[in-house]
Structure 1
Amino acid sequence: MTIASFTGWALSFLLIIGAGVSLALQQVFNTRLRAELASPWWAGVGSYIVGLVLMLAIALAGALLSPSTQPLSRLIRHSSASSWTGGVFGAIFVATGIVMVPRFGAATVLAFVVVGQMVGSIVLDHIGFMGLPVHRVDATRLTGALLLILGVVMVRH
């Protein structure tokens, strides 16, 4: 492995870890917004409005920096309906965090979220869901998932 490829690899993993930290921060800020607005549902709406504005700015900046050869309307028309359902799962995550973090704490909630992500990801990889490369379940992956669940139990107590 060259230094350049190692650096790219390391930066990629730091970015992913940063995204994980941002999930913890999101849950804490959303919990505070819930208390300030006296509603988990309006806190979720507020979180999505801010996220929408940021993603819109990023998308517009990206379009300006590297314009697509096809208009966005054409790309949207040729996308599948199921591909648009990701926001539903994001809303489930945000609403669950807003409701559960005050009850169980950020570490416990996110530990269980990670278990759910791991179990779901192992299954989706195993079946090659929606064109994912197939990565079969094996003893190593199952052991990792079980260790993760053990970690959740340890974080909970």
Structure 2
Amino acid sequence: MLDAGGEAAISWRMSQFAALVGISLLAVVAGLSFVMQQAVNADLRASLHSAAWAGFVSYLGGTICMLVLALVLRDQVPQASAIARSHWWAWSGGLFGAIYIGISIVLVPRIGTAAFVALLVAGQMLSSLIFDHYGLFGVPRHPVDLVRLSGAFLLVIGVVLVRY
């Protein structure tokens, strides 16, 4: 039989586990959305005969969704002073998103979704290790060690298996 402290500890662990499961499910939904975005953008490119216009339509749809979300959440429009305090590189997210969208629109029809995602994940993992190790762009520092390098190596092996 558990005392109140033991029951509280179990309850806390269960709530932590439930939170982890919820977060994991959200990540899975994000992954599904990611693949859906690639597939529909590639199809849109075929319909419009333009990677640039397909990317524009994709971003326009995303912009409208974020506007609706901000309105539903009743988020205040940022003040000019808050915008001015942002790091200069904080404004480059759209540029990198456009690079990603443009490349995915062109490559998915050529190499397939699975191969593209495998290569993309390899690129994300390798760049993430660099960002973590050096704490780039305000990311908390997490030094690269042998275990993390081994995981990245296994991921690259997985990419090769999916691609070829």
When normalised by structure 1's length, the TM-score is: 0.92
Deviates more, 1:70-79 or 1:147-156: 70-79
Cα distance in 2 for partners of 1:48, 1:115 equals: 24
State the shift of 1:82 in Å: 1.1
Task: Please tell me whether residue 103 in structure 1 is matched to residue 114 in structure 2.
Answer: no
**For structure 1, which runs of at least 5 residues remain unmatched after alignment?**
none
State the shift of 1:73 in Å: 2.8
**Which 4+ runs in 1 deviate beyond 2 A?**
70-74
RMSD over aligned Cα atoms: 1.5
Q: Quick one: which amino acid aligns to residue 37 of structure 1?
A: L
Task: Please tell me whether residue 125 in structure 1 is matched to residue 132 in structure 2.
Answer: yes
Cα distance in 1 for partners of 2:125, 2:55 equals: 24
Q: Percent identity?
A: 43
Q: Which residue matches 1:45?
A: 56
Q: Which residue matches 2:14?
A: 3
Map of 1:5-154 to 2, 5 A cutoff? 5-62=16-73, 64=74, 71-154=78-161
* Larger RCO, structure (CA 8 Å, separation 6 or more): 1
Cα-to-partner distance string for 1:107-133 (whole Å, 9 max, x where unaligned): 101110000000000000000112222
Q: Measured at CA, do residues 143 and 71 of structure 1 come closer, stay the same or move farther in structure 2, by a change above 3 Å?
A: closer
Cα distance in 2 for partners of 1:40, 1:23 equals: 17
State the shift of 1:99 in Å: 0.3
Q: Quick one: which amino acid aligns to residue 14 of structure 2?
A: I
Cα distance in 1 for partners of 2:40, 2:18 equals: 32
Q: Measured at CA, do residues 101 and 8 of structure 1 come closer, stay the same or move farther in structure 2, by a change above 3 Å?
A: same
Cα distance in 2 for partners of 1:72, 1:59 equals: 15
Cα-to-partner distance string for 1:14-66 (whole Å, 9 max, x where unaligned): 1112111111110000010001111111101110100110011112222x2xx
When normalised by structure 2's length, the TM-score is: 0.88
Aligned residues: 153
State the shift of 1:74 in Å: 2.8
State the shift of 1:71 in Å: 4.8
Deviates more, 1:13-22 or 1:74-83: 74-83
Cα distance in 1 for partners of 2:78, 2:126 equals: 38
Cα distance in 2 for partners of 1:148, 1:73 equals: 43
